Amino acid sequence: MNAPSVTIVNNFIFKDCTALTAVSFPKAVSIGSYAFSGTGDPMLSIYLGSTPPGLATELFYGITSPKTVNVFVPGDPTGYGYGPLDTAHLLGSDDDGWLHGLAGSGWDPTTEDNIDPDLNNNNINASIAKNP
């Protein structure tokens, strides 16, 4: 699903979309709670812009089996991790930052902090890379 002009990805937008395998929001500034809850495919690719969007909590609420989430960004963006391109695999991890926010704890772009680390879904294995 390609949404090149979407800036706000609403709560529950893909809830129970069991065949969802890829989404593109290059202009997203925020992604709402439960946006990807109930997405059944074990792999999801998310294409974003060079500025990391804010993340509400529990984006993948209800995902009870391992799910690989590959985030792709253009060029050498900053803000997604601790370096120009930070790759982190979060399954069972205590790491902090944007990818951890994607796994459920949320992420505030103003403070660059996670909102609630206790909400992470340890079934989410996320990584970030340059657009292929």
26 or 102, which is more confident? 26
- Domain residues for the domain of 93 are 8-130
For residue 115, what pLDDT is reported? 86
Q: Is 3 domain-assigned?
A: no
Q: How does DSSP assign 14-52, residue by residue?
A: TTT-TT--EEEETT-SEE-TTTTTT--SSEEEEEE-SSP
Rounded-to-integer distance, Cα 95 and Cα 13, Å: 27
pLDDT in tens, 83-124: 334 444 444 444 567 887 888 888 888 887 888 878 888 888
Q: Give the confidence band of 29 by pLDDT, cuts at 50, 70, 90.
A: very high
Element (H, E) at 122: none
Residue 6, pLDDT > 70, answer yes
Which tokens is 7 given? 């800036």
Q: Is 53 domain-assigned?
A: yes
Q: Is 2 domain-assigned?
A: no
For residue 13, what pLDDT is reported? 96
Element (H, E) at 99: helix 98-100
Q: Is 37 domain-assigned?
A: yes
Residue 35, pLDDT > 80, answer yes
Question: Chain-wide mean pLDDT for the chain?
Answer: 84
Q: Is 44 domain-assigned?
A: yes
For residue 104, what pLDDT is reported? 87
Say if CB 103 and CB 120 are below 8 A apart: yes
Residue 66, pLDDT > 60, answer yes
Residue 127, pLDDT > 60, answer yes
Residue 37, pLDDT > 60, answer yes
Which tokens is 95 given? 């790491």
Q: Is 58 domain-assigned?
A: yes
Q: Is 1 domain-assigned?
A: no
Question: How many domains does the chain divide into?
Answer: 1
Residue 82, pLDDT > 80, answer no
